[in-house]
Amino acid sequence: MENRHIAKTAFGMSGITFVSRLFGLVREWLRGYLLGTSHSSDAFTLAFLFPNLMRRLVGEGALMVAFIPVVSDYVHRDREELEDFVYGFFTVLFCSLIAIVGVTVAAAPVLKFFLPEFARVPGKVDLTVSLTRLMFPYLFFISLAALSQGILNAYKVFIPSATTPILLNISIITAGFLLGGYMREPAYALGIGVLAGGVLQFFFQVPFLSKRGIRYRFRLKVSSGVKRVFMLMVPGALGAGVYQVNALVSQFIAAFLEEGTVAALRFSLTLIELVLGIFIISITTVILPVLSEKASKGDREGMKKNLSFALRLCVLITLPSTIGLMVLRHEVITMLFRYGRFTENSVRMVATALVYHALGLAGIGGTRVLVQMFFSMKDMKTPVYIAAGAMIVNLVLCYYLARPLRLGGIALAGSISSYCQFIFLIIILQRRVGRIVDRRTLLSSMKSLLSCALMGVVLYYLRGALGVMDGTRATQALLTVGMIGAGVIVFILVNLSLKNRDIIELIRVIAGKIRPE
């Protein structure tokens, strides 16, 4: 019943996240329309990558995985202890963020020395520096929003925080539509939207905290819990942010390739993050408090069962998504982005990156699930060591694969490194707590893999028979959506015929036939 509760809560969040990602696609469509894969798009992509990376390293990522296990202990203690911890942590975080943002904004011109290829295009480096200065304060607000999310999640309240990305996307879309046509450089309009979105994400959650008696105050008293969180955050930053670090390394290497490569990789990652954001992030968000609670009680068997279930859900989502994105890459990219300055060459570049990015979906998703087990046991160091190894693999592969495969090689390097990280994490975890990939998990994965293979064959022949790209824009979109729906149906039907119990239970959860206790 607990696994069903996890699934139902995760898919409840997925519904909200799906709406957010739809807005995200509109946001990316608008970016493609205004900037295409031009030098402005490269500059905006790289400038936004810096606060996004720091958000993962300092704020939302490391903060969440270090904060939730500790605050979960305080929630069940005396109220005064909880307030001392929360207010003390808020004070330290607030001051730290002010310092980080101030230093980075002042030092932004240093980027000129690291982007020689950008310097070949007049104004490209200066635009990157200006956009970095404009958007980096976003880190301040999104980190405070992450703190609010951590507190609410400790109370098992997930929906408000899952809603906040919608506000960011709406903010960027609104700024782009209202200001993009009136500015000489439309990238600034999108940057203003990013900053405004961060403000909204923080203040939206404040009323929900107030309902639970939490009102942020400055308090100079630093409790032992605050020190524990920051001690856990230092190693947790790298462990939680390896995906973003790999993305940053990839973007820098891509900056040495032809114009539009940086933007093409970003558009490709948008589709990958669509899958990860809707399903995998929801699963990992829900499972961390559950695992943390069981870890505090010493219930290792319960933790293993929950983790195995989360991994099976991950397989059910990532495998069909991988095949679908690879087979229908041109159709999906054309449907979503082929407008304005997003040309046919842009479609080709993004499609090339997407093939190799999609291969790593299962590795990325599985890794994000596994690290929650380590974090729940307050072990931040092991994921750091594995993350460091994965980054080295990614860096080496990026360098060597970028020559023969160009941007496809950079995407492939990230996919390979994600599987390396997943394999080492699961080996170490099974040595510590026992068998996680049990017979049921292996059998369910094999059935899902067979279902994906048949789904891919159907989509390949359906794509050729319909001649999607030959029709009008409306016809292309309609047929693409239809093929995606057909692929989902084939995947489910084959799984049902193979009596995959996980797909049966998942359907029951989504249909609302299972009520959590």
Q: Which residue has the higher pLDDT, 277 or 316?
A: 316
Task: State if pTM tops 0.85.
Answer: no
Q: What would the mean pLDDT of 224-244 be, rounded to a whole number?
A: 67
Question: What is the pLDDT confidence band of residue 236, given thresholds at 50, 70 and 90?
Answer: low
Is the per-residue pLDDT at 33 higher than 60? Answer: yes
Q: How many CA atoms lie within 13 A of 380 on its CB side?
A: 24
Quick one: which of 392, 191, 448, 153 has its CA closest to 291? 153
pLDDT in tens, 303-353: 888 888 888 888 888 999 999 999 999 999 988 887 777 888 888 999 999
Question: What is the pLDDT confidence band of residue 514, given thresholds at 50, 70 and 90?
Answer: very low
CA–CA separation, 164 and 245 (whole Å): 24
In contact, 232 and 12? CB cutoff 8 Å: no
CA–CA separation, 189 and 134 (whole Å): 10
Q: Is 5 exposed, middle or buried (0-12, 13-18, 19+ CB in 10 A)?
A: middle
Length of the chain: 517
Least confident range of 260-264, 363-367, 414-418: 260-264
Going by C-beta distance under 8 Å and a sequence separation of 6 or more, which residues neighbour residue 80? none
Q: What would the mean pLDDT of 492-506 be, rounded to a whole number?
A: 86
Domain ranges of the chain: 2-510
Each residue of 134-154: b (16+ CB within 10 Å) or e?
Answer: bbbbbbbbbbbbbbbbbbbbb
pLDDT in tens, 156-195: 787 788 788 889 999 999 999 999 878 888 889 999 999 9
Q: What would the mean pLDDT of 340-367 be, rounded to a whole number?
A: 89
At 123 the pLDDT is 79
Question: What is the pLDDT confidence band of residue 515, given thresholds at 50, 70 and 90?
Answer: very low
